[in-house]
Amino acid sequence: MFERFTADARAVVVDAVGSADQVTPQELLEALLATDRGIATTTLRECGVTAESLHSETPTNDLDQDADVLASIGIDLAAIRESLEQAFGKGALDEPAVPAGIGSRRSRFAFPRSRFEKDAKKVLELSLREAVAHKSNHIGAEHILLGILRVADGPTRTALEAQVSIPEIRSRLESAMRPAA
């Protein structure tokens, strides 16, 4: 399927993979907005959706704030970490090292497939379906955006709909995709 992607669509996927440990529809949307990806980016910007607006609407996961909240009810994260390291060894809670060759740009696949969250995989599948539905022989960034709009839920939906409704974005994008007569 990746061979049917245009250069812009490939760049969206590669940028999303390069910016996150786990690729979600949100990362794909951010990659669409990172640089100009044609009518997809133009439509989003015309609807008031920018990288800055996505970040302002996306809830953050601040670990320090979580630690403060837990401390307020008597839970000491430092003590828990120390206890776990005594029981299971130093660094038991650290991220495991990635084996050599996985994720290497020199390997046949530049990233392990497991890095794509289920919904991100669904976006890419739907981008193919959108291309077929629009009678296109390639998958462009605009088709990825249509896939994102179909899958959008949680933080992605919240970030998009803070600016404009998802049906409105879809309508404007499909209008821009129609060839001028």
Tens-place pLDDT, residues 32-53? 999 899 999 999 999 988 888 7
Whether 23 is in a domain gets the answer yes
CATH of the domain at 31: 1.10.1780.10
- pLDDT (0 to 100) of residue 2: 72
Contact 143/28 with Cβ under 8 angstroms?
no
Question: In total, how many domains does the chain have?
Answer: 1
Tokens linked to 141: 């960034």
Confidence of residue 106 (pLDDT cuts 50, 70, 90): very low
Whether 162 is in a domain gets the answer yes
Whether 98 is in a domain gets the answer no
| pLDDT mean across residues, the chain | 81
Structural domain range at position 158? 2-59+115-177
Whether 43 is in a domain gets the answer yes
**pLDDT tens per residue, range 69-98:** 777 888 877 787 787 788 877 776 675 554
Q: C-alpha dihedral over 169, 14, 129, 112, to 10 degrees? A: -130
Whether 106 is in a domain gets the answer no
**What's this model's pTM, rounded to 2 decimal places?**
0.69
Whether 173 is in a domain gets the answer yes
pLDDT top residue among 98 and 137: 137
- pLDDT (0 to 100) of residue 61: 52
Whether 145 is in a domain gets the answer yes
Tokens linked to 175: 């209008």
Whether 134 is in a domain gets the answer yes
